[in-house]
Every structure is written in structure tokens, then in C-alpha cells.
Amino acid sequence: MIIVERSLYQIVGHGRSEQREIGVTTVLREMTGRVAVVTGGNKGIGFAIVKALCQQYDGSVYLTARDTTRGTNAVKELEKQGFKPKFHQLDITDDDSITKFRDYLRSTYGGLDVLVNNAAIAFKVKATEPFEVQAEETLRVNYFSLRKVCTILYPLLRPHARVVHVSSSAGRLCNITGKALKQKLADPNLTETELDTIMQEFVDAAKSGKHLEVGWSNSSYHASKIGVSALAGIHQTMFNADPREDIAVNAVHPGYVDTDMTSHTGPLTPEEGAIAPVYCALLPENTEIKGKYIWFDKTLSNWK
Ligand code: NAP
């Protein structure tokens, strides 16, 4: 596919600045090939996913990061190792950043083929922030921002696109106690809006100190990742009714990995942690693995 762009030139003269179109500069840019995007790619499992995709994916691979310096340094590191990822800034909590990236992808590639939602945060056990602060921030980043990235980027997905929500073993219902709460989260007819409400109710319960009473655990990370696991099934149901054929969305537990998030206590290397997310990102056409929860050894598991 070929696109034609018009260029505007900024002209400064006589103490004032004016913008004028000089003739019609046409830039012919070929919108080549397929494109994969990894959020939070500057370190840890995300970095290893980018590396593995550079090795295995037939298309452009975008390492994205909220911080441009950290992101471009990570790209340089991979270049030293002989890989050629591309870079774009992406802060998943910033609507403007997501929208700019969406526009860039649309004008450069005309679509999107692989989206790995990897970026997330976890407060340390020793963190001194009050629980309600941790709850609000963890849900804001891990659930609501991931959700926003999907809302903004999903219109770009092409047929056969693959979406990976990096969840966790923490994202299973066995980590919480409330029977009614579990039933609501496990409902196959649960909608995105209803899930948003449940996630917001967790934050509100944390603020009023009632989160245990209503069936959550004492971990905001658990709540956020249960939301991420549930989102994969909901998104798959949406895509099953979408005219774009064969889009697959899966949630994955990458294993317990040696990264900053775990203070380097996990036994798996980041490369080992990348195996299941990359497997989900590269599922073949017309795969039956859709709307599932995948364990780090690539087996089908159950978060409900
Ligand atoms: P990590 O080393 O802490 O890396 C997290 C990445 O997310 C970093 O690149 C970080 O960027 C990025 N990030 C955080 N907030 C962001 C934002 N607002 N916008 C864009 N990027 C943002 O963590 P990890 O261990 O590699 O974890 C990767 C994924 O695996 C997460 O979803 C995590 O929950 C999941 N997971 C990890 C383990 C484990 O054992 N490590 C287990 C289960 C699940 P900065 O460098 O700028 O902070």
C-alpha cells in the first residue's frame, strides 16, 4: 500500500512566524509489512519479549517505553547484540501518548498485527504508601491503563492480529476469598464496563478499609491482574463478533522471573519469562487458543 503525505514548512521572517505550504511536497512512503508492539519494553520481561520477537517475528518490532532515554538506551543495547528493534515513546497512563502512537502506527503501517501489553507496576512488600494509595495507583496502571491502550489501539488491529495481556499467577481467583465476587468475575457474560465497575469497587473498598470484607485479598496487584486475566476473555468475545477475522487475545502468566519487579528473586531469566508471551504473540493463523490463560510453560491453564 502507498500513502501520499503533504508537508508543511514553518517559515520565519520579518519578526513573525507563519506556516505556509510550499507547493505540494509529496512523500511516497511504502507502508511495508507487519508490525508488533511491546509496552514497557525497556527492561525485564518486556525487553526479553522484544528481543525474542526481533529473532522470531517477520515484521517490524517496536520497543516502547514511557521514558525516551531508557527506551533508546534499551534499543542501543539490543542493537549491540545484533537486533534491530524500532522505538516509540509510550506511557500507558497518558492518553495523549497512546493517541500519538496510534496516529504514528496508522500513518506508517496502516494497522497493527501484534500487541503485547506487558507494562505494569508492583509496590514492594516494604512500600510505605498507605494501602488505598497503592490500590488506586496499581489499578490505574495495571488495569485501567492497559484497558485504555486496548481501546485506542484495537481499531488498528488487522485480521489475524495477536494480543497478549501479560497477567500473572496473581491474576487467578484462587487468590481472593469472596464467593459472590468470584462468581461475578467468572461470569462468561461479564462486559468490559461491568469489569471496570468491579475494579473501581476494589479501589473504593480499599479506601474505606472494606476490601477484605467484600472478598478481595490484601494485594492490589492480585486485584489488578485478576482484572487483566478477565479482560482477555471479554476482549476475545468482542473479537469473535468482529468482522476482522481470527483476532486472538490471551492472558499469560510469564512465571516468577528475575527482574526489578521481583527484586531479582525470581528463578527464571527474563528470556525464560518471555517464552509464553512470545508463544501467544506468534500463534499461527486460525489458532484455537483464544481468550485463554496460558501458564509460563505454554500450557493452557485456568484463572477462574
Ligand atoms: P519490571 O522489570 O518492573 O518492568 C516493568 C516495565 O513496565 C518497565 O519497562 C517499566 O518502565 C514499564 N512501565 C511501568 N509503568 C509504565 C507506564 N506507565 N507506561 C509504560 N511502561 C511502564 O517488571 P517485569 O518483571 O519485567 O514485569 C513485566 C510484566 O510481567 C508485568 O506485567 C508484570 O506484572 C508481569 N509479571 C512479572 C512477574 C515476575 O516474576 N517478574 C511475574 C508475573 C507477572 P520503567 O522502566 O520506566 O519503570
132: phi then psi, degrees, rounded to nearest 5: -65, -30
User: Which residue CA neighbors atom 31 of ligand 1 most closely?
Assistant: 120
Ligand 1 site-directed mutation target among 67, 69, 94, 259, most atoms within 8 Å of CB: 259
Question: In 10 A of CB 206, how many CB atoms?
Answer: 24
**Residues sharing a CB contact under 8 Å with residue 188, sequence separation 6 or more, in sequence order:** 233, 237
Question: For residue 261, how far is its CA from the centre of ligand 1 (angstroms)?
Answer: 7
Q: What is the pLDDT of residue 8?
A: 34
Q: Is 182 helix (H, G, I), strand (E, B) or coil?
A: helix
Question: For residue 244, how far is its CA from the centre of ligand 1 (angstroms)?
Answer: 30
Determine if ligand 1 sits within 6 Å of the CB of residue 70.
Answer: yes
Q: What is the pLDDT of residue 31?
A: 63
User: Which residue CA neighbors atom 9 of ligand 1 most closely?
Assistant: 40
pLDDT in tens, 114-130: 999 999 999 999 999 99
pLDDT in tens, 176-227: 999 999 999 999 999 999 999 999 999 999 999 999 999 999 999 999 999 9
Band (6; pLDDT cuts 50, 70, 90): very low
CATH code 2.40.50.140 for 34-301: no
Determine if ligand 1 sits within 6 Å of the CB of residue 260.
Answer: yes
- Give the active site residues: 221
pLDDT in tens, 245-303: 999 999 999 999 999 999 999 999 999 999 999 999 999 999 999 999 999 999 999 99
What predicted TM-score, i.e. pTM, was given to this entire model? 0.92
Percent of the chain surpassing pLDDT 70: 89
Percent of the chain surpassing pLDDT 90: 89
**Is 34:105 a contact under the CB 8 Å cutoff?**
no
Domain positions in the chain: 34-301
Q: Is 116 helix (H, G, I), strand (E, B) or coil?
A: strand
Q: What is the pLDDT of residue 32?
A: 64
Q: What is the pLDDT of residue 22?
A: 34
Q: What is the pLDDT of residue 17?
A: 35
Determine if ligand 1 sits within 6 Å of the CB of residue 268.
Answer: no
pLDDT in tens, 137-150: 999 999 999 999 99
The residue count of the chain comes to 304
